[in-house]
């Protein structure tokens, strides 16, 4: 695989971003199990390379839409960790003043049009963002992240149809983590996933979602094509969620522990990049460990700070409610 021409600092920065997402999710898990986070929470541990790899080739003025499993996408697009924790903890200083919670965080200053608790809902929004970029005569690109379970939603195909018809600057990123809730994807998806996009004339690519170098390379090519006015692309990123469908899905009887250990041992995106950094750039394990320690300290501080933030005033309950 050809690796994008970047220096060691670039790849260390991407490792740091992936590790920040992972540790953020581990702290989130702890906060949730302590009863401090209201609502449902879905972790993206194991899927960090998809979020960081794609967002690493975007600009601040590019747009993303996300899913119920969206913390990693938000952070990869530049979200502030303090405000992320504040939102999860339903605090007034959160991105949505504590009203969006885990599944509905939006950060338009960084081009994040929002996570979405409606499976497939964000694919319509991304078509609108792409159309907006076209009508404003910019070279902005809009990206939508979704899981393979979303492929059962008709809205996905309505969105792809219009994006292809109008050559909108849209990138569809399907993160296939092997399970739609508690059901293996091979029991719910017929045919080849790439063919679903190709049916609309959309270029579609198979990507190892555990290798951030491959994700960033293919995503970079797709984004460049969109900026040139060549229309949408589709990435099918094979990945794996290490935890359950949601935080309460602890036993996971629908898959084996051997399968989980195989992915975590041989396909982990952080280990893969760390091993490559050592081989390619002679980055010592001590350097990586120091980076991780600094990230943990910063994330822990952010969580502690968020816990001290005020909850929204009761008088604000209908503010920003439009329907």
Predicted pLDDT of residue 41: 96
Q: What is the pLDDT of residues 99-112, one digit of tens each?
A: 999 999 999 999 99
In a domain, 318, yes or no: no
Whole-number pLDDT of residue 217: 98
Alpha-carbon span 166 to 319, nearest angstrom: 37
pLDDT at 321: 82
Determine the pLDDT at residue 6.
Answer: 81
Average pLDDT over residues 147-161: 97
In tens, the pLDDT along 268-321 reads: 999 999 999 999 999 999 999 999 999 999 999 999 999 999 999 999 988 888
For residues 202-212, average pLDDT:
99
Given a cut of 50, whether residue 60 has pLDDT beyond it is yes
Given a cut of 70, whether residue 1 has pLDDT beyond it is no
Q: What pLDDT, on a 0 to 100 scale, did the predictor assign at position 2?
A: 45
Query: What local confidence, expressed as pLDDT, does residue 165 receive?
Result: 98
**pLDDT at 5 (0 to 100):** 61
| Interval 231-264: pLDDT, tens | 999 999 999 999 999 999 999 999 999 999 999 9
Asked whether residue 207 is domain-assigned, the answer is: yes
CATH number of the structural domain spanning residue 128: 3.40.50.970
What's the average model confidence in pLDDT over 34-51?
A: 97
Flag whether 7 is in a domain: no
Separation CA 161–CA 188 (nearest Å): 22
pLDDT given for residue 233 in this prediction: 99
Q: What is the mean pLDDT of residues 146-160?
A: 97
Task: Residue 116: name the closest of 131, 124, 105, 126 by CA.
Answer: 105
Range of the domain at 167: 15-307
**Angle of helix 48-55 relative to helix 212-227, nearest 10 degrees?**
40
Is 6 part of any domain? no
> Is 206 contained in some domain?
yes
Three-class DSSP labels, the chain:
CCCCCCCHHHHHHHHHHHHHHHHHHHHHHHHHHCCCCCCCCCCCCCCHHHHHHHHCCCCCCCEEECCCCCHHHHHHCCCCHHHHHHHHCCCCCCCCCCCCCCCCCCEHHHCECCCCCCCCHHHHHHHHHHHHHHHCCCCCCEEEEEEHHHHHCHHHHHHHHHHHHCCCCEEEEEEECCEECCEEHHHCCCCCHHHHHHCCCCCEEEEECCCHHHHHHHHHHHHHHHHCCCCCEEEEEECCCCCCCCCCCCCCCCCCHHHHHHHHHHCCHHHHHHHHHHHHHCCCHHHHHHHHHHHHHHHHHHHHHHHCCCCCCHHHCCCCCCC
Structurally, how many domains does the chain consist of? 1
Mean pLDDT computed over every residue of the chain: 96
């Amino acid at each position: 695989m050809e690796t994008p021409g970047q220096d060691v600092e670039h790849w260390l920065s991407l490792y740091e971003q992936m590790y920040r997402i992972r540790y953020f999710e581990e702290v989130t898990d702890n906060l949730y199990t302590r009863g401090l986070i209201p609502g449902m929470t879905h972790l993206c541990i194991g899927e960090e390379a998809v979020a960081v790899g794609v967002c690493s080739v975007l600009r601040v003025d590019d747009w993303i839409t996300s899913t119920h499993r969206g913390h990693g996408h938000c952070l990869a697009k530049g979200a502030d960790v303090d405000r992320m924790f504040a939102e999860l903890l339903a605090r007034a200083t959160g991105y949505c003043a504590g009203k969006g919670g885990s599944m509905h965080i939006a950060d338009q200053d960084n081009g994040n049009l929002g996570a979405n608790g409606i499976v497939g809902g964000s694919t319509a929004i991304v078509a609108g963002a792409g159309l907006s970029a076209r009508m404003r005569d910019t070279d902005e690109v809009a990206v939508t992240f979704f899981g393979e379970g979303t492929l059962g939603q008709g809205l996905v195909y309505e969105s792809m149809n219009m994006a292809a018809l109008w050559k909108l600057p849209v990138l569809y990123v399907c993160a296939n983590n092997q399970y739609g809730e508690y059901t293996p994807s091979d029991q719910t998806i017929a045919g080849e996933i790439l063919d679903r996009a190709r049916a609309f004339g959309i270029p579609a690519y198979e990507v190892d979602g555990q290798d951030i170098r491959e994700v960033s390379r293919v995503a970079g090519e797709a984004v460049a094509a969109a900026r040139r006015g060549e229309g949408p692309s589709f990435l099918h990123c094979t990945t794996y969620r290490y935890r359950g469908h949601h935080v309460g899905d602890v036993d996971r009887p629908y898959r084996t522990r051997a399968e989980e250990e195989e992915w975590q041992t041989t396909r982990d995106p952080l280990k893969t990049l760390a091993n490559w950094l050592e081989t390619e750039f002679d980055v010592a394990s001590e350097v990586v460990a120091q980076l991780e320690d600094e990230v943990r300290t910063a994330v822990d501080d952010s969580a502690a700070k968020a816990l001290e933030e005020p909850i929204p005033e009761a008088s604000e309950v209908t503010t920003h409610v439009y329907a």
